[in-house]
Amino acid sequence: MSQRDEIRIRIAARADLSAIAPLARAAFTLDAFSDALLAEKLFDAPLPDAELWQTYLAERDGRPIGFMQSVVRRGNPKGWVGLFAVDAGARRQGIARRLFENTRAAWPSRITSAEILALPGNYFAPGLDPRYTSGLSFVEALGFTRGRDCVNLSCKLWREFDTAAEESRLAAAGIEIRRADCRSDGPLLDAFFASDFGADWRFEAEQALRQSPEALHLALRPIDGTTRIVAFSAHGTQNREWGFFGPMGTTPAARGLGLGRVLLWRCLNDMRAAGHASSVIPWVGPIRFYHDACGAVVERVFWRYQMDLVR
């Protein structure tokens, strides 16, 4: 029997986490994945519009030797390859290529492009860290091409940010800054995200709302006699143990008033109070804004990889 014949590829169940976790921890040497965090990425927090949210597991003689996450969203023409790794002793034997073949074969025919990592709503990273050089060699061998770079920033939480003066200034201008309330703010949030920022951030806001205290801060002002959310910031919506900030957004009409800065500070204060020494501001965006508002600096660079699929 050839090595190829001994290998079985199947869809992993959550119970396979104990087999996947050691593979992941050995392969992802730049990242500290706890079981809970891996479970969040692979099993526990699928996007509400996920059509496929699967992890393929490769086994040789019943022993796990590799895995690859596959995601397809309803109505979306893109497919995502999420986390993937192969045991160091089983590399360069075509295992990851076979995992990708399985992934792609299961995608519906409307899928015309693929992306590596960068899964909006539940992502580990906004692209591939090029220091995972075997990973980038592999995806380039498959035919993925490198697109834009993107960055994660890091903000040291040495001190608490004093928001009082800014909040008084905004209150005088008729803008209330407060923590979201999980019991009563649902309809306001639904209306806000339906008109601004969309379903992916509504999903993340919900994850933030479920934390205690709510990891979601709002700016509200009366518009045509009705109180409306005009800006928000969240944290810990995913990768919470890594101190992830975001998402955050201000409606176009309310930009330039200093809402983003004070909402950012509130989230950073929460994370500091929860014991984080620093916060990750991922998949940025307005680097200068963050550098100015909280001294955040570029910590990590990622490369986006995409491929057109010809069927």
- Applying CB under 6 A, which residues contact ligand COA? 27, 83-86, 91-97, 128, 132, 134-135, 137-138, 141
- State the nearest-atom distance from the C-beta of 102 to ligand COA, in Å: 12
The residue with its CB nearest to ligand COA is 135
Q: What's the alpha-carbon Rg for the chain, to the nearest Å? A: 21
- Residue at 3: amino acid letter: Q
Choose between 99 and 175: whose C-beta lies nearer to ligand COA: 99
Q: Which residues have CB under 8 Å from 10's CB, separation 6+?
A: 56, 57, 59
Q: Which residues have CB under 8 Å from 9's CB, separation 6+?
A: 56, 57, 58, 59, 98, 99, 102
Choose between 197 and 302: whose C-beta lies nearer to ligand COA: 302
- State the nearest-atom distance from the C-beta of 132 to ligand COA, in Å: 3
Choose between 203 and 305: whose C-beta lies nearer to ligand COA: 305
- State the nearest-atom distance from the C-beta of 52 to ligand COA, in Å: 18
| Cβ atoms within 10 Å of 113's Cβ, excluding its own | 13
- State the nearest-atom distance from the C-beta of 68 to ligand COA, in Å: 8
- State the nearest-atom distance from the C-beta of 298 to ligand COA, in Å: 20
- State the nearest-atom distance from the C-beta of 277 to ligand COA, in Å: 26
Q: How far apart are CA 129 and CA 298, in angstroms?
A: 13
Write the CA distances from 72 to 78, 107, 191, integer angstroms.
7, 7, 27
- State the nearest-atom distance from the C-beta of 134 to ligand COA, in Å: 3
Choose between 7 and 281: whose C-beta lies nearer to ligand COA: 7
Choose between 135 and 236: whose C-beta lies nearer to ligand COA: 135
- State the nearest-atom distance from the C-beta of 62 to ligand COA, in Å: 18
Choose between 8 and 169: whose C-beta lies nearer to ligand COA: 8
Q: How far apart are CA 105 and CA 50, in angstroms?
A: 17
Q: What is the DSSP string of 252-268?
A: GGGTTSSHHHHHHHHHH
Characterise 143 by phi-psi region: left (phi > 0), alpha (psi -120 to 50), beta (else): left
Token readout for 110 is 């409307």
Q: Which residues have CB under 8 Å from 269's CB, separation 6+?
A: 160, 161, 163
Choose between 128 and 280: whose C-beta lies nearer to ligand COA: 128
Choose between 61 and 224: whose C-beta lies nearer to ligand COA: 61
Could you give the dihedral angle defined by the CA atoms of residues 125, 152, 180 and 209, in that order, rounded to the nearest 10 degrees?
A: 20
